[in-house]
């Protein structure tokens, strides 16, 4: 790098931002309209299942043999079972949509970061670094450029979304411990931060449509928060891990290149 000031990251508000946001907005809109809307009235569907069961029982009802209370009880249980099944399916669909939305955002962000960093760093080295970093370190990398992200209101929701997706994918583990401690609202029972021994089971992970929308809005806020220009003069203290990551992937690249056959058929 030279001593002159130069652009380290560029996000055009008229070209880049719409290109980045439109797929996200489309995903959220269609997810709600085509999938989540199917679960808008679970109570009504459960009541209808109960009524159908009661009607079917009535067709074979024998007053000399059958107890009407049993028929009503069985019908009620049918309605409850229907409600539970639909509610579980609703949660499964919402979690899957949340994971898909975050992955779309994560990949888009990494792709954009690689393109911007490649203007002033070796793409063959910085590319693998960016794609292999965990999300928290990726954010550290952007903050190194002078961006303010972690302290913003949207970041707490964005990071919670990351943890939710990790728990959904991997179950019990560090992400579950962190999420259940910091954000018990994403679990089916009201676990409090003051009672760690009552920490929820990872299978109780729950995301409502309203929470899905909050995650979506956090992603939108992230993109609109990125400045149009970031300059070398704004660089902050380099992350302590960056040099090691850069060297690690540089060595891997060197090793790969050394095994590539030369024009004469010999490895380099």
Whether residue 178 has pLDDT greater than 70? yes
* The two three-digit tokens of residue 39, written as one number: 């679960």
Three-state secondary structure along 132-197? HCCHHHHHHHHHHCCCCCCCCHHHHHHHHHHHHHHHHHHCCCHHHHHHHHHCHHHECCCCCCCCHH
Q: Torsion over CA of 168, 169, 174 and 178, rounded to 10 degrees? A: -30
Whether residue 150 has pLDDT greater than 90? yes
Percent pLDDT > 90 in the chain is 68
> With bands split at pLDDT 50, 70 and 90, how would you rate the model's confidence at 45?
confident
> With bands split at pLDDT 50, 70 and 90, how would you rate the model's confidence at 262?
low
Whether residue 221 has pLDDT greater than 90? yes
pLDDT at 77: 83
Whether residue 82 has pLDDT greater than 50? yes
pLDDT at 2: 52
pLDDT at 68: 66
> How do residues 100-136 score in pLDDT, each as one tens digit?
999 999 999 999 999 999 999 999 999 999 999 999 9
Comparison of pLDDT for 60 and 160, the residue scoring more:
160
DSSP 66: -
Contact (CB, 8 A) for 25 and 101: no
Comparison of pLDDT for 64 and 170, the residue scoring more:
170
Percent pLDDT > 70 in the chain is 82
pLDDT at 64: 57
Collapsing DSSP states into helix, strand and coil, what is residue 7? strand
pLDDT at 39: 93
pLDDT at 268: 44
Mean predicted lDDT score pLDDT of the chain: 88
Number of neighbours of residue 93 by Cβ within 10 angstroms: 18
Three-state secondary structure along 205-233? ECCCHHHHHHHHHHHHHHHHHCCCEEEHH
Q: At what angle are helices 153-170 and 68-117 packed, to 10 degrees?
A: 120
Distance between CA atoms of 161 and 235, rounded to whole angstroms?
A: 28
Contact (CB, 8 A) for 220 and 238: no
pTM, two decimals, is 0.86
């Amino acid at each position: 790098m030279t001593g002159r000031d130069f652009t380290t990251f560029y996000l055009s508000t008229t070209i880049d931002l719409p290109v980045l946001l439109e797929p996200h907005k489309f995903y959220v809109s269609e997810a709600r309209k085509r999938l989540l809307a199917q679960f808008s009235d679970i109570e009504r569907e459960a009541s209808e299942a109960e009524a159908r069961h009661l009607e079917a029982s009535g067709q074979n009802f024998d007053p000399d043999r059958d107890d009407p209370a049993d028929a009503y009880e069985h019908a009620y249980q049918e309605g409850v079972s229907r409600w539970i099944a639909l509610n579980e399916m609703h949660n499964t669909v919402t979690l899957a949509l949340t994971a898909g939305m975050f992955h779309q955002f994560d990949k888009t962000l990494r792709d954009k970061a690689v393109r911007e960093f490649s203007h002033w760093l070796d793409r063959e080295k910085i590319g693998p670094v960016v794609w292999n970093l965990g999300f928290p370190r990726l954010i550290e990398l952007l903050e190194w450029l002078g961006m303010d992200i972690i302290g913003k209101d949207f970041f707490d929701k964005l990071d919670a979304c990351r943890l939710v997706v990790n728990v959904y994918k991997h179950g019990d583990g560090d992400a579950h411990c962190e999420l259940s401690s910091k954000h018990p609202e994403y679990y089916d029972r009201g676990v409090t931060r003051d009672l760690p021994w009552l920490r929820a089971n990872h299978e109780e992970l729950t995301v409502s449509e309203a929470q899905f929308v909050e995650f979506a809005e956090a992603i939108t806020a992230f993109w609109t928060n990125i400045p149009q220009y970031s300059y070398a003069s704004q660089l902050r203290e380099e992350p302590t891990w960056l040099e090691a990551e850069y060297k690690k992937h540089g060595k891997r690249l060197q090793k790969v290149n050394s095994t590539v056959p030369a024009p004469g058929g010999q490895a380099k």
